[in-house]
Structure 1
Amino acid sequence: MSQVHLAAVPLWIWIGAGIAAIPIGLVVLAILWEARSRRPVLQFRQDGTLFELWHSRTLPRPTDVVVVPVSTDLKLIAGSALWVRGVTADMAQREADHAAPRPVGDAVLVAGARYRFKRAALAVVMNPSKQYAAEWMRDALMRSVALAAELPASSVTIPDWTPDLMRQPRGVSEHVRRAETTRIADSLTSSALALSGRVPVVRLWVRDPLAAEIYRSHLLRARETHQAVAA
């Protein structure tokens, strides 16, 4: 049987194949450029842990564990929790249903999403009345990281919890939204810094530009407070 040699392929076929490959190459280059050009808003190291604050509409980096807030019934119905439910094709919710209910301050690991995160940690920060407290946030975050360490996990991503914890977030004024975001950011950044030395990388992920600036100022303030206490 005769073999087809590359030299026998007409030149016009080579030219056509090259032209067809250009769009694919441009797409690949665009993806690589976006991945390399994105940088955290804030980055610092404390007690062996690298802290990063990201402002991005999409998950900034693949991570081992994403921590989202839930109530004692473990329902993923709003904000980042609803996002986890969607990207895991409802698998996270089905696993959560088998583990519910859980007390405030506790946490549960459920299914992850391929290429995004290995597992999702459901941090129980709300009581049955959907009320939350800074102490519950801290305890549930600590419990989430303790569970993540058993995987083990080298990186933990914490989205902005404001859309999860606010009641009727779309129907409030900008003033109320800012006040509630400030309150949540204050508790969440303090709780996040308490993870120093417990996990190599902690990423705070914020989508809203207003929230990003609030988180940045509170993270800097919390870091200064932590350093003053440590000194």
Structure 2
Amino acid sequence: MRKMILPAALALLAGVASVASVAQAEGLQSGGVSITRGGGNVNTAVGKNSFAGQSATTIGGMARGGGRSVTLGGDNRNLAAGRGSMALQDGTTVGGTAIGRGASSYVLGGSNANLARGVNSFAGQSVTTLGGTAVGRGAQSSVHGGQNLNAALGRNSSAQQQVLTMGGSAVGRGSLDKVYGGNNRNAALGKGAFADQQVVTIGGQ
């Protein structure tokens, strides 16, 4: 999943650079507010012979010309509680772009939970959230994509979840683009149960 994410993130940043150059040509003032969070993650292996592996990447957004970009992306929980269980969690959040006075881009991508509670259970979760673009006075882009739950609760159960959310574009005075795509639940409850969930949400232009 991460092999697919990094090229997409680079392409997104390249697009931001091209938009920024156009914005400079139009004489926008430099400066803005960009807020990135990305902390508050918890990775725990408490079961006998259990293993918990967590990878969390948060890349801040871009704000120019009085725009405001907020990213977040943290507060993820990864827990291997069952005896002989394994929990692997991968969370990547890339901030959006806000160019222009009053333009706003909001991304969440975090607050995910991955739980392996059953004996010899496996829980694997991958959540990727890419921010959108807001260009122009009052333009807004809001993404979310986080707050997902993946749980392997039964003995010898397996739960695997992949969630990809990509923001859209809001260009022009008063425009608005919203993408959600999170709040997904995937659970393997019974003995030897298997649950596999893949969710892709892509915003418009």
TM-score by length of 2: 0.21
Q: Which protein has the larger Cα radius of gyration, Structure 1 or Structure 2? A: 1
TM-score by length of 1: 0.20
- Larger RCO: 1 or 2 (CA < 8 Å, sep 6+): 1
Q: Which has the higher helix share?
A: 1
